[in-house]
Amino acid sequence: MSLQREVWPSRFAFISAALGSAIGLGNVWRFSYLAGKYGGSAFLFPYLIALLLLCVPVMILEFALGHRFKTTVIQAFQNISDRLKGVGLLGNLSSFIILPYYAVIVGWCLLYLYHSLNTPWVGQESDFFYSTILNLSPGAFFDFSLNIPLIIAVAICWIVFYLCISRGIAGVSKVVSITVPLPIIILFILLVRGVTLPHGMDGITYFFKPRFDLIWDFNVWRAAFSQIVFTASLGFGTMVAFASYLPKKSDIVKNSLITVFLNSAVSIIAGAVVFSTLGYMAFKQGVPIDTLAKSGPGLAFIVFPKALSLIPYPHILSFLFFLCLLTLAVDSAFALLETLCAALVDRFPRYSRSSLLIFSTVVCAVISLIYTTGSGLYFLDVVDHFVSDYLLVGTVLLQCIAFGWIANTEEWRRYINSISDIRIGSIWTFSLRFICPLALIILLSFSLYSDFSTPYEDYPQSLLWVGQGVCLLAFIVSFYYSFFSSKRNTQ
Ligand code: PHE
């Protein structure tokens, strides 16, 4: 039985599921390390611009597509024009590529949660992360040795993701009623702890005090725009799939605004938690906060646990933090899995939903093994870099062009306004036609320029090929699907 025929029991259930998908590791792990890397508050301004310029109009677009066509992203774009089905496929391919490594990061969180009651990392945080958790081979970019504890943790995660969505909309609604509020409550507890620490407010100042010295640095803009796409789950087809289960009378604009702004509010609260705690750590260790904040992707798994270990009751705080990460990540991961499964249900109606769900879970779980090996972190890093900077940004660009230039955008605007309390003006059409494509084209060109001039993280070309190859393959397959695959009956 397909989820297609089901309907969310309430607006609250839909918003919770959309928020559950949007609020994930991206809000805490990715947002805080990017904000740290790009100077704290210097990152906030481009981030907020990207939120208004790109996130709001595209979220309305995705919700409207799902709501009107009551189908998943490939079919939705195909309904606009047969040639556009590849744009929908790109979204599904992004989910398929990201889910396996996302699941492995959830596995890291589970291992940290397991260890948090005795915090064995204290005094050797970096070693604990790279050696104990990841079993990373330093410098060996193609080491496929297996890491059994991590494999067990990731396998548990896959079973949980499967169970969360195996009972369809009803099950998802129940799970998100816990996994959405719980991490937010924990973040508030950690925020109170952070700002009441000595010099915690120094961190808050670092994060919020406006500074525009990096405004001309394109890397900051590039990071802010790709972060918005990733964190709001844009371009993946997830929001289209979720909106397809909305009842006929649903306020598209209000739902989009609530999802977009609450998602970013959680990122900002998470940033305040991380930076206030780092403010205290900087004071304790007598180092500038900038040095701590710039520690890159290891921020949530190395520097932050170290900061927590300097505060009274580190076990409780660590437990809360990793429980927060885990619960944030679980509903994002199963949203990705649901997106894939719904697409398969759409494409292969003769197979049952449960067998397609098992199939997609097993295939993604097997792929995720690559990211648990001795070189797993390197693969994860290059794939994440190329997928978020090219595949996702490219997908959203194509969505905007398809919607702004091929669909009858004005007619869509009338449709959205006919069911929404808050009306959207012609600025929405203008954004999708001009502002978003222009911003995304500039961004993509800059990314290409900077990746051609300096190899990402100075990795060897053989490793970079993994990320570049995956992206290129996704674009080629989608192009082929759009232009050379036979026409299927549309709904
Ligand atoms: N938005 C999620 C995050 O910030 C990632 C995600 C993307 C989840 C797409 C589901 C679908 O972590």
pLDDT at 116: 95
Q: Could you give the CA distance from residue 38 to residue 33 in angstroms, rounded to a whole number?
A: 9
pLDDT, tens digit (0-9, with 9 covering 90-100), for 323-354: 999 999 999 999 999 999 999 998 899 999 99
Coil vs helix vs strand at 226: helix
Of 16, 21, 34, which is best to mutate to test ligand 1, by the most ligand atoms within 8 angstroms of its C-beta? 21
User: pTM of this prediction?
Assistant: 0.94
Ligand 1 center–CA 333 separation, angstroms: 7
Ligand 1 center–CA 284 separation, angstroms: 35
Q: Could you give the CA distance from residue 347 to residue 269 in angstroms, rounded to a whole number?
A: 40
Mean pLDDT of the chain: 93
pLDDT bracket for residue 6 (50, 70, 90): confident
Ligand 1 center–CA 390 separation, angstroms: 16
Of 238, 332, 338, 341, which is best to mutate to test ligand 1, by the most ligand atoms within 8 angstroms of its C-beta? 332
Coil vs helix vs strand at 278: helix
Q: Tell me: pLDDT of 486 over 80.
A: no
Ligand 1 center–CA 116 separation, angstroms: 25
Q: Tell me: pLDDT of 491 over 50.
A: no
User: Does the beta carbon of 22 lie inside 6 Å of ligand 1?
Assistant: yes
pLDDT bracket for residue 490 (50, 70, 90): very low
CA nearest to 115, candidates 305, 295, 298: 305
User: Which residue's CA is the nearest one to ligand 1's atom 9?
Assistant: 233
pLDDT at 84: 95
Q: Which residue has the tokens 């929001």?
A: 239
Top mean pLDDT of 45-49, 456-460, 484-488 is at: 45-49
Residues whose CB is less than 8 angstroms from the CB of residue 36 and which lie 6 or more positions away in sequence, other chains included:
274, 275, 278, 292, 293, 294, 295, 299
Ligand 1 center–CA 476 separation, angstroms: 24
pLDDT, tens digit (0-9, with 9 covering 90-100), for 252-304: 999 999 999 999 999 999 999 999 999 999 999 999 998 898 888 889 999 99
Q: Tell me: pLDDT of 2 over 80.
A: no
Atom of ligand 1 nearest to the CA of 328: 12
User: Does the beta carbon of 233 lie inside 6 Å of ligand 1?
Assistant: yes
User: Does the beta carbon of 335 lie inside 6 Å of ligand 1?
Assistant: yes
User: Does the beta carbon of 175 lie inside 6 Å of ligand 1?
Assistant: no
User: Does the beta carbon of 183 lie inside 6 Å of ligand 1?
Assistant: no
Q: Could you give the CA distance from residue 241 to residue 380 in angstroms, rounded to a whole number?
A: 26
Cβ–Cβ < 8 Å for 118, 380 = no
pLDDT, tens digit (0-9, with 9 covering 90-100), for 205-256: 999 988 888 888 998 999 999 999 999 999 999 999 999 999 988 999 999 9
Ligand 1 center–CA 458 separation, angstroms: 27
User: Does the beta carbon of 25 lie inside 6 Å of ligand 1?
Assistant: yes
Ligand 1 center–CA 428 separation, angstroms: 24
Q: Could you give the CA distance from residue 458 to residue 477 in angstroms, rounded to a whole number?
A: 29
pLDDT at 49: 96
As a whole number, mean pLDDT of residues 356-369 equals 98
Of 32, 164, 231, 260, which is best to mutate to test ligand 1, by the most ligand atoms within 8 angstroms of its C-beta? 231
Ligand 1 center–CA 331 separation, angstroms: 9
Instruction: Report phi then psi at 486, rounded to 5.
Output: -70, 155
User: Does the beta carbon of 238 lie inside 6 Å of ligand 1?
Assistant: yes
pLDDT bracket for residue 487 (50, 70, 90): low
User: Does the beta carbon of 73 lie inside 6 Å of ligand 1?
Assistant: no
As a whole number, mean pLDDT of residues 441-461 equals 93
The alpha carbon of 228 is separated from its chain's Cα centroid by a whole number of angstroms, namely: 9
Of 226, 227, 230, which is best to mutate to test ligand 1, by the most ligand atoms within 8 angstroms of its C-beta? 230
User: Does the beta carbon of 229 lie inside 6 Å of ligand 1?
Assistant: no
pLDDT, tens digit (0-9, with 9 covering 90-100), for 295-311: 888 899 999 999 999 99
pLDDT at 212: 84
Ligand 1 center–CA 95 separation, angstroms: 9
pLDDT, tens digit (0-9, with 9 covering 90-100), for 66-121: 999 999 999 999 999 999 999 999 999 999 999 999 999 999 999 999 999 889 99
Q: Tell me: pLDDT of 3 over 60.
A: no
Burial of 296 (0-12, 13-18, 19+ CB in 10 A): middle
The structure tokens listed for 286 are 């007598």
pLDDT at 488: 54
User: Does the beta carbon of 231 lie inside 6 Å of ligand 1?
Assistant: yes
Ligand 1 center–CA 332 separation, angstroms: 5
Q: Could you give the CA distance from residue 450 to residue 97 in angstroms, rounded to a whole number?
A: 23
User: Which residue's CA is the nearest one to ligand 1's atom 8?
Assistant: 332
The structure tokens listed for 187 are 């973040």
User: Does the beta carbon of 239 lie inside 6 Å of ligand 1?
Assistant: no
Ligand 1 center–CA 336 separation, angstroms: 7
